[in-house]
Amino acid sequence: MRKATITRKTAETDISVTIDLDGTGTYDNQTGVGFFDHMLDQLSRHALIDMTVRADGDLHIDDHHTVEDVGIALGQALTEALGDKKGIYRYGSCHLAMDDAQVRCALDLSGRPYLICNLDLPFGKIGTFDTELVREFFQALSTHGGITLHIDKLHGFNAHHIAEAAFKAVARALREAVETDPRKADAIPSTKGSL
Ligand SMILES: [Mn+2]
């Protein structure tokens, strides 16, 4: 059962995240930030990870705490659902094209957080969502999911397309990495013996 539920409450946000790594990409994400919900929906659908997210955050300030804290909770949920990581492919990558945007993601579920995020998004907003929050989300996801996460933009000028291509590329790479390898079903994919 590769599932997890994480609840996380602070003075700034009250969040619950439930995921099933062996799902079909069914989602119900409600954070109060429209564009961010749209991105979480992409992550679920294209990773085939069932995902329910509820966030009640201090949006009267801005979307920052809500987006970052959902990233933390989702990373924690991934870590818990993956358990000892027995049998997983571990690595995943994707080149994803969306209109003008092309984004490449390469990731390793190594247990070692490291983020490279070169999206070169223009400063500004998509809806109410500050474009700089894309990086904040992936930083939190990488740190708390123990993911070596590299995301690079190859082309693109439209902020909505670049951000969406990034989330979809990460989703497709994640789908590969969390998948179980039938040839290695009982083995931890590391010569160290643990991840
Ligand atoms: Mn869109």
Domains of the chain as residue ranges with CATH: 3-178 (3.30.230.40)
CA of 116 to the centre of ligand 1 (A): 23
126 contacts 35 by C-beta, under 8 angstroms: yes
- For residue 7, the model assigns a pLDDT of 98
Residue 15: other Cβ atoms inside 10 A: 24
For 121-140, what is each residue's pLDDT tens digit? 999 999 999 999 999 999 99
Q: How far apart are CA 51 and CA 21, in angstroms?
A: 9
CA of 32 to the centre of ligand 1 (A): 17
Sorting pLDDT into bands at 50, 70 and 90, what band is 13?
very high
CA of 162 to the centre of ligand 1 (A): 10
CA of 164 to the centre of ligand 1 (A): 6
CA of 101 to the centre of ligand 1 (A): 12
CA of 161 to the centre of ligand 1 (A): 7
CA of 8 to the centre of ligand 1 (A): 28
Going by the DSSP 8-state scheme, the letter that residue 165 receives in this structure is H
Report the phi/psi class of residue 136: left, alpha or beta, with left for phi > 0 and alpha for psi in -120 to 50. alpha
Given a cut of 90, whether residue 51 has pLDDT beyond it is yes
- For residue 52, the model assigns a pLDDT of 98
CA of 38 to the centre of ligand 1 (A): 7
% of the chain surpassing 90 pLDDT: 92
pTM: 0.97
For 76-115, what is each residue's pLDDT tens digit? 999 999 999 999 999 999 999 999 999 999 999 999 999 9
